[in-house]
Chains A and B, each alone.
Chain A
Amino acid sequence: MSEQPTHDPQPQYAVSTSGLSKRYGDTLALDGLDLAVRRGEVYGYLGPNGAGKTTTIRLLLGLHRPSAGRAELLGIDAWRDPVAAHRHVAYVAGEPFLWPALTSAETFEFLARLRAPTRVPDGRESVGVDVAYRDVLVERFQLDTRKKIRALSKGNRQKVQLIAALATRAQVLLLDEPTSGLDPLMEVAFRDCVKEAKERGQTVFLSSHILSEVEALCDRVGILRRGRLVDEGTLQQLRHLAAQTVDVTFAGGAPELPALAGVSVENVGPNALRFEVTGSVGPLIEALAGHPVATLTSREPSLEEIFLHHYDSSDGRVEE
């Protein structure tokens, strides 16, 4: 299979899908997914276990065949021409499946040679991989590269995968729950790496169910639920849709307020009220104007609250 020169040399999107669906037997794992991740973006792909995150990534890599729709990496159809697509992509699987008899150093070499079988003349620098940066990563993640994979714990095997992917010069990093099995210190190291990747202009597609990670790293977030994208946008945009919390205490007893659209109220003390406000807080401020307000604090919803909002609202349960 050869490179086809028909690909758009400057595609607008790093990752794009249109009407992407996948059915396994009776289960519809992915239902008409439309994604458009711009180049250089860090995109958080959120969803509980079984929502379809890994299925999406397998389709993006052309490992599974779409039942309908298309999946493209840098404008290249991943099913029709996986080799061309993969030249620009590095992938970290949710579980580290590597070769037990190879050491980490050998694994790095093997994966690097698969990316670029031809090496530049000095022999050390392989075309597809930044070997100097890889050494930095090995140091940062404190990996003993002389150890064989079979002797490594799951977390350490995950590091091997991560380092191999992060050290590539790939334009797109597809990361499927990359921090599973990492300890908190290593998670900090991972976050630094993602920030560095962004500075270098790499696109990061980060599938995760760790909300703090996504909140800290991602420019935009998509929330997947049972194979459908239920919400998407920057954190700011998502916050607009979810309720924000306003806590008010009063000098004296809490007053009776008229019912306001988009505002729910709860008594949290003899002279304290908590409001959950969807949309603008203007009407609430107006309603409070004539009352003896002692303190007023407002808090934007966390990503966790936004996330739970999507899973609690309609039928109340997160399904496996």
Chain B
Amino acid sequence: MSRSSGALARRAFRDARVRTISFAYLFAIYAYIQPAGYSHAYPTLADRLSFVHTFAGNDALRLFYGYPYDAVTVGGYSAWRVGGTLAIAAAVFGVLAAVRALRTEEDAGRMELILAGAVARETAYLASLAAIAAGVLLLLLALFAGYVLGGLPVGGSAYLALATASVAPVFAGVGALASQLAPTRRVALELGTAAVGLFLLLRVIADTATGAAWLRWLTPLGWAEELRPFAGAQPLVLLAPLAATALLLAAAARIASGRDVGTGVLAERDTADPQLRLLSSPAAQALRGERGTLAVWLIGTGAFAFILGMVSASVSSAGVSKSIQREIAKLGSGSLLTPTGYLAFVFIFFILAVSLFVCAQIGAAREEESDERLETLLAQPLSRGGWLGGRLLLAACATAALSVTAGLLTWVGAVSQGVSISLLRMLEAGANCMPVALLFLGLGALAYAIVPRAASGIAYGLVTATFLWDLLGSVLDLPKWLLELTPFKHVGLVPTQPFRAQAAAIMVAIGVLAALAALAVFRRRDLIQQ
């Protein structure tokens, strides 16, 4: 590699270091905790057999974790529980890394600066790929370290880590292609994320619907399963992600070499007759800017809710012993053995999704400030509190819309398969997403008011950390007071459990107080520049 491309690659890697390192930590911790937790919770073969008999055969769980080829061994269990989940995270990482390296630079105009120097397009492209590859390698090492520390054999750990991480380069290819097609960074991210959702949906159908297993071969997330770590490994399957990555990257490179810098293949209309709706206030205008993103969230949430509702019909407790039911309850999921119990369990993930949406809204507010459009706004006769309050209100309303969508469409899905469940209860389950989301909205706003540059990271970090704390803490038998630090622990699992009004009220109150504090602090600080 020449000196200039080396410098470019290092620059690109450094730009993405916070995200790369966060992912690596997350991967390592998750990879460590699952095998460790499993051996702890199910020490004997008999325990594991009965676990497999009931729990691993559960359609509902396959949705999240994928198909369990062998959940009796610690390795097979880890491959199932960790591999399936982290493969999704690896896919997201691939898209984010590729769009960041290949498109964000360009949209910011920095790529023109670099290409104006003595750097060829090919060099810049290869340097970006090298930076992404370094990130993927780091994830691979993190996974490997996690598995080994969690007690899995070295060779198997390496193969499992490879299987999970194999998803990342394919989706980096998807991100690279999206970066060439899309007219802006934002659209590239939306295309890439939509691809992740689509391939996940394929895997979900392949893993749960009878007779659809062949669909697994159509999705990179399925390939990761077909590699079958700890369950009769099929290393030849690695050819699929390799070939797909090479094809996607070659296609992206071909387009990149023939494309004007700063534009996309999918042209965007640059002239339009004036549309005067949604221009009456900054919040209205923000809604106008975010409506595409909001639509994607609503459609995605609705589609997943509908499918989960349908799947819930196949959940049953036939032949599950009482002791196993207790074990399952211990995993923090209430009763997973009835349709309602299953729906109550999946709503934890909707709460997570809505909370992550809130983080994205905090990020959007921060971006408006760092792009200095906020300066243009606040030079108008417009109060700072009015602006931030409007944005928070918009986020709260969008959160409500997402929550209700989740509740409504799970009900529609469940009822379509003949599950008898009350619409009101499912709407309640949807609304139950709000208190946690509002809590994070308030805390995120406060972080934004105090340390605007770090706000996005703090908000995402807080949501991820408290969620993992809930998920892992129950496996690890931590003391109760430690577990109760996370708001996810205080959510009543509607519809199985009653709505916990007191806890919800406390969360909303903390959220509102934090938001008020945010407004007060924001009123008193300098605006930041780029």
A contacts, CB < 8 Å to B: 1, 58, 61, 63-65, 82-84, 86-87, 89, 91, 93, 95, 97-103, 105-106, 109-111, 113-115, 117, 144-148, 150-151, 161, 174
Contacts and interface: CB of A to CB of B under 8 A. Distances in A.
A115 B270 contact: no
B285 interface: yes
Given A63-B378, A63-B527, A64-B527, A150 B270 contact: yes
A115 B383 contact: no
B271 to A, nearest CB: 4
26 contacts: A1-B385, A1-B386, A58-B375, A58-B526, A63-B526, A63-B527, A64-B526, A82-B378, A84-B381, A86-B382, A93-B379, A97-B371, A98-B376, A99-B285, A99-B373, A105-B274, A106-B275, A110-B285, A114-B381, A146-B271, A146-B272, A146-B274, A147-B270, A148-B270, A161-B376, A174-B379
Contacts of A65: 524-526
A84 B382 CA distance: 9
Contacts of A151: 270-271
Interface stretch (B199-207, B276-284, B508-516): B276-284
A91 B379 contact: yes
B289 interface: yes
B372 A117 contact: no
A103 B379 contact: no
Contacts of B384: 82
Contacts of B527: 58, 63-64
Contacts of A161: 376
Chain B interface main SS type: loop
Nearest to A106: B274
Interface residues of B, number: 35
A98 B372 CA distance: 8
Interface in B362-403: 371-373, 375-386
Nearest to B285: A110
Interface of B: 184, 269-276, 279-282, 285, 288-289, 371-373, 375-386, 524-527
Chain A interface main SS type: mixed
Contacts of B376: 93, 97-98, 161
A97 B378 contact: no
Contact of A148 (B271, B282, B288, B371): B271
Contacts of A148: 269-272
A185 B385 CA distance: 41
B373 A98 contact: yes
A86 B285 CA distance: 20
Given A114-B377, A114-B382, A117-B281, A97 B271 contact: no
A125 to B, nearest CB: 15
Given A65-B524, A65-B526, A115 B381 contact: yes
Contact of B381 (A87, A105, A150): A87
Contacts of B371: 97
B296 to A, nearest CB: 16
B281 A109 contact: no
Top 5 nearest A-B pairs (CB, nearest first) are A151-B270, A91-B379, A97-B372, A105-B274, A86-B381
Contacts of A111: 380
Contacts of A97: 371-373, 375-376
Nearest to A24: B526
